[in-house]
Structures are given as structure tokens and as C-alpha cells.
Amino acid sequence: MENLQAILTSSTPVLIDCFATWCGPCKMVPPILKEVKDKLGDQIRIIKIDIDRNQQLAAQWQISSVPTLLLFKDGKLAWRQSGVVPAHQLIPLLKEKI
């Protein structure tokens, strides 16, 4: 896998889906992110991070509930939201931020 730091600091904004395999609401997020990717295409990169497998990152980003979406732009956290955000709300919000 590509180095996470390189991904976060690339010129393409990165949306990170922080999830856990045991989390029920997390299972609602993939179809939402697919819709986001279909609409925004190459304007954004989307990656998933399992917080149980990446506990150090979860601690660093202070993830206390899942799902949590993090948007990084130019290596900096530009936006974060916990809980499931419907695609019709998420897409305009991301367009504004990227």
C-alpha cells in the first residue's frame, strides 16, 4: 500500500472512512462513498481505515466513534464528521471543501 503520509499530502483531497468490522452503521457507508466517487471522480480520493487494525492512527486522529469521515486537503484535516452522512448531504459539503 502507498505510504499514508504521501496520500494525505498529495494534491488530491483524501476522504478517509474510519470504520470497524463490528460496527453496524459502518456497513451503510460504502454505497454512500461509491455515490460520492461516482459524482466527484478524480477530484477526491477515498480510502478506508479499520480502526481496530490501525489503533495508533485512531488514537492520533482521536476517533471515538465509528463511522467517522475525515477529509484531508494538502496534508491538513479540513473536515470531520462522525455518524452516517447521506450522499445527498455529503456530496455538496465535500464539493465546498475540495
Q: Which of 92, 66, 93 is nearest to 79 (CA)?
A: 93
Catalytic residue among 14, 18, 26, 66: 26
Specify the pTM. Answer: 0.94
Average the pLDDT over 76-88 and give the result: 96
Active site residue 23: yes
Number of separate domains in the chain? 1
Question: 10 Å Cβ neighbour count for 2?
Answer: 9
Q: Is 26 a catalytic residue?
A: yes
Selected catalytic residue, list 7, 23, 46, 57: 23
Cα-based angle 64, 68, 72 (whole degrees, multiple of 5) = 115
Q: What is the pLDDT of residue 30?
A: 97
Which residues form the domain of 54?
4-97
Cα angle: 59, vertex 88, 68; to 5 degrees: 5
51 and 35 in contact (C-beta within 8 Å)?
A: no
CB 19 within 8 A of CB 51: yes
**58-67 pLDDT per residue, tens:** 999 999 999 9
CATH label of the domain that carries residue 38:
3.40.30.10
